[in-house]
Amino acid sequence: MRLPIILDTDPGIDDAAAIAAALFAPELDLQLLTTVAGNVSVEKTTRNALQLLHFWNVDLPVAQGAATPLLRPLRDAAYVHGESGMEGYTFVEHQRQLLEKPAFQAIRDVLIHAPEPVTLVAIGPLTNIALLITHYPECLFNLRRLVIMGGSAGRGNFTPNAEFNIAIDPEAAAKVFQSGLEIVMCGLDVTNQAVLTPEYLATLPTLNQTGRMLHALFSHYRSGSMSSGLRMHDLCAIAWLARPEIFTLKPCFVAVETQGEWTSGTTMVDIEGKLGQPANAQVALGIDVEGFQRWAAEVIARAP
C-alpha cells in the first residue's frame, strides 16, 4: 500500500527535487500540494509549484498558503534559489488553476475526508501547519505524523544558530513543536550531509527530461556547488518516508526560541535529556550518505 501524503513546500530548487521524489517514489501517494512563502514570495512559490506539475503532466490539487509568517515580515532566500525561486530553467506556459481555498483549509479538507491517516510533509516555513493546528484541531485525529525539513541540533544556515525554515517563522515552529503531533525532524544535522556528488550531477543532463531540468536548476542553487556537491535539504524529508533505514533518529525534547535578540529560530534539541522534558520529536541525527545518494539516483531515474 502506498503511503498517502500531503506536501507543504516553498519551491525552491531543493523543494523541486523533493516534489519529484514525492511524485515518483513508488512508496508514496501524493494527494495535495500546498505552498507557503519562504524561499521566495508565496506568489512565486505557487507559480513554481504549478510549473513543476505541468512539466510532469501531473494532475494534483494545489492550494496557495500563507504570504507572510505569523507575526514577522518575510525574509526570503532568493540568494540561494534565485529571484524566481527556481532560477535556471524556463518552464512552458500553462493554464493550471489553484484550489479556491487557502492551504491550511485544503489540508484540513483532505484530512477530514481521508479513509486512513495521512502523513503531512513540510519542507518550508511552518506557517500553514501552525494555522492548521490553530484553526482546525478537529482534523488532527487523521494526521498520521508530521515530517519536516527544518531545524538543527547544532549550527544554523540562516543565522549562526537558526535553520532557515524555522528562522523565518519561529512562532509557527514553536506552535508545531508544542502541539503534541508526532514529529520527525530532518534538520541540518543530516541534510548538510545529504549531498548529490559532482559525479552524479554530471550525469543528469543525459538521464531524462527531469534530469535535464534539475541540472539546469541545480546550476543556480547555492547550497553547495556543482563542483563540490549540492545539499539536498528537502529531499531528506521524502527520503525518510521512502527509506527510513537510511536515518538514525533519537526521541528528543525540542524547543524553538522565539524571544532571543540574536537567537530567534534556534531549535534547542535536548539530545542528552538534560532538561527532563518529555520528547516531542524524533530527531534525525545520523544518515547513511551513500544510501541516500543511491536512493536519490533511483527515484530521480523513475521520473519522466
**Residues designated as active site:** 233
> Which residue, 9 or 119, has its beta carbon nearer to ligand RIB?
9
Whether residue 280 contacts residue 182, with contact meaning beta carbons closer than 8 Å, is answered with: no
> Which residue, 123 or 188, has its beta carbon nearer to Ca ion?
123
**Minimal distance in Å, beta carbon 10 to Ca ion?**
5
- Tell me: does residue 232 bind ligand RIB (CB under 6 A): no
**Minimal distance in Å, beta carbon 187 to Ca ion?**
13
* Residue window 230-259: x/- pattern of binding to Ca ion, with contact defined by CB under 5 A: ----x-------------------------
- Tell me: does residue 164 bind ligand RIB (CB under 6 A): yes
Residue 35, contacted partner among Ca ion, ligand RIB, none, CB below 5-8 A by kind: none
Nearest to 33, CA basis, from 56, 21, 50: 50
- Tell me: does residue 16 bind ligand RIB (CB under 6 A): no
Among 5, 7, 8, 12, binds Ca ion (CB under 5 A): 12
**Alpha carbon distance 251, 284 (integer Å):** 9
Please tell me whether residue 60 adopts helix, strand or coil conformation: coil
Nearest to 264, CA basis, from 35, 75, 14: 75
Q: What is the DSSP letter of 191?
A: H
- Tell me: does residue 39 bind ligand RIB (CB under 6 A): yes
**Minimal distance in Å, beta carbon 80 to ligand RIB?**
7
End-to-end CA separation in angstroms for the chain: 23
Options 61-69, 156-164, 196-204, 266-274: segment touching ligand RIB (CB under 6 A): 156-164
Please name the residue that has the C-alpha cell 527535487.
17
> Which residue, 139 or 241, has its beta carbon nearer to ligand RIB?
241
Whether residue 139 contacts residue 108, with contact meaning beta carbons closer than 8 Å, is answered with: yes
Whether residue 188 contacts residue 287, with contact meaning beta carbons closer than 8 Å, is answered with: no
Strands 247-256 and 281-287: antiparallel
Q: What is the DSSP letter of 38?
A: S
In the chain, alpha helices (H): 13-24, 42-55, 78-81, 103-113, 127-135, 164-168, 170-177, 188-191, 198-201, 209-218, 233-242, 289-301
Length, in residues, of the chain = 304
In the range 103-162, which residues lie near Ca ion by CB under 5 A?
123-124
> Which residue, 14 or 171, has its beta carbon nearer to ligand RIB?
14
> Which residue, 128 or 139, has its beta carbon nearer to Ca ion?
128
- Tell me: does residue 84 bind ligand RIB (CB under 6 A): no
Residue 157, contacted partner among Ca ion, ligand RIB, none, CB below 5-8 A by kind: ligand RIB
In the complex, the residues that contact Ca ion under the rule CB under 5 A are: 10, 12, 15, 123-124, 234
In the complex, the residues that contact ligand RIB under the rule CB under 6 A are: 10, 12, 14-15, 38-39, 77, 123-124, 149, 157, 163-165, 233-234
